[in-house]
Amino acid sequence: MKIHHLPGLLLLLAGCSLQAQDLRVSEASPALLSNSSTESIAELQEAIASLLKVEEVLIADDAFTQSSRLSLSRAPHTDPNGQLIMGRNFEMPDMVQLLIQGKQCFVYHEDSDQNRPLPLSKCIAE
| Three state DSSP letters for 84-124 | ECCCCCCCCCEEEEEEEECCEEEEEECCCCEEEECCCCCEE
Q: What is the largest CA-CA distance in the chain?
A: 70
For the stretch 21-67, pLDDT in tens is 456 677 899 999 998 889 999 999 999 999 999 999 999 999 999 99
- The pTM assigned to this predicted structure is 0.72
Q: What is the pLDDT of residue 22?
A: 56
Going by pLDDT thresholds of 50, 70 and 90, the confidence category of residue 74 is confident
Residue 9 clears pLDDT 60, i.e. is over it: no
For the chain, the residue count is: 126
Query: Where are the chain's structural domains?
Result: 25-73+92-125
Provide mean pLDDT across the span 80-85: 79
Q: Closest by alpha carbon to 38, among 124, 126, 125, 120? A: 120
Measured CA to CA, the distance from residue 27 to residue 24 in angstroms comes to: 5
Distance of alpha carbon 98 from alpha carbon 79, whole angstroms: 35
